[in-house]
Amino acid sequence: MFKFNFEVETEVEPEEAVKSPFTENSEHKTEQEDSGIVKDIVWYEAEQIKPTKAALSRLDLYELNAKDLKVGNTEIRHLIAGFLLEDIKIQGDLESRDIKKSEESHSDLIAGVYEGGAKIWECTDDLLLYLSENYDDSYWQGKRVLDLGCGSGLLGIYALQSGAKVDFQDYNKDVLEQITIPNVMLNVQLDLSDDNKLEFLEENTSFYSGDWSNFALLTLDTEKYDMILTSETIYNIENQQKLLDTFNSRLRGDGIVLVSGKSHYFGVGGGLEQFVDVINKGKAFESKNVWTADENLKRGILKIKFK
């Protein structure tokens, strides 16, 4: 049973809510940085997560704690993170151990445990705007799209609302169950019955948790994607080749990847220019910077395709 604590502070304005943990003056650190101990990381196995009637039964509660985001001509509803995170933090009976651990340790990243999926980072907004300005509704018809490292799932929801079939992948199972799937449900046609909503989700979406390499193996025999969308996933240099290997495994030969991120992620070493160097050293892909924002910390969007 969900119970929201309305004594917490209301959600801050979007420009405050989406600040990255990797800005130059950020106080956010990974748990390993806090402890000064580097541990061997055991990455989560991948598994497919199914939407349930139990989640649908909470849809009225989700509606009470949701807000609207307009992207071009598309309306997206999503849960207000402040209320949801507070509830997850205080409820001991929910399967939300990773998010709860992150909130209790005040860490947006715990390597191998939690990868920041409960928050909406600013580069997601950048990529949503880019999609709305560069891909019209006709593009999405019949397309298969992967929202990789989906978190709240806004990129995938935009593609789904535009007519694509979309798979959502996030490292954390509880992010998918407590945030992504509720957000997707908020955007399914309201006048459908619960059975028809689940049927729509079964036909048009899939949800996967776990490590990227394990996800690629789990879905090896499924249809490949016309487009892969991913935001703020290049911060960890150690995982960048794993990310590229996932592109290589799951992208159609004529497909494209759109990666949004920052020029540099302070404290961890990754960034757009550095990621382009990794791409150029490989033999599989070529990339092009298709969008740049210079205010504050420089941000950009890369378009990646096979050579």
Report yes or no on 194 lying in a domain: yes
CATH code of the domain covering residue 213: 3.40.50.150
Which has more pLDDT, 97 or 245? 245
pLDDT for position 61: 85
C-beta atoms surrounding 6 within 10 Å: 8
From the list 70, 116, 130, the residue with the least C-alpha distance to 236 is 116
CA-only gyration radius of the chain, Å: 18
* Range 114-142 average pLDDT: 85
Q: Where does the pLDDT of residue 67 fall: very low under 50, low under 70, confident under 90, or very high at 90 and above?
A: very high
**Does the pLDDT value for residue 300 go beyond 70?**
yes
Report yes or no on 3 lying in a domain: no
Report yes or no on 12 lying in a domain: no
Domain count, the chain: 1
From the list 100, 105, 78, the residue with the least C-alpha distance to 88 is 100
Say how far apart CA 124 and CA 52 lie, in whole Å: 27
CA atoms within 13 Å, Cβ hemisphere of 38: 0
Report yes or no on 14 lying in a domain: no
Report yes or no on 292 lying in a domain: yes
Per the confidence metrics, is the pTM higher than 0.75? yes
Residue burial 46-78, b: 16+ Cβ < 10 Å; e: rest: beebebeeebbeebebbeebbeebebeebebbb
On whether the CB atoms of residues 263 and 297 are closer than 8 A, the answer is yes
Report yes or no on 27 lying in a domain: no
pLDDT tens, residue by residue, 160-213:
999 999 999 999 888 898 889 999 999 999 889 999 999 999 999 999 999 999
* Range 264-290 average pLDDT: 94
- Which range in 81-85, 94-98, 108-112, 292-296 is most confidently predicted, on average pLDDT? 292-296
**Does the pLDDT value for residue 51 go beyond 60?**
yes
The whole-chain average pLDDT of the chain stands at 82
Q: Which domain holds residue 74?
A: 48-306
pLDDT for position 41: 74
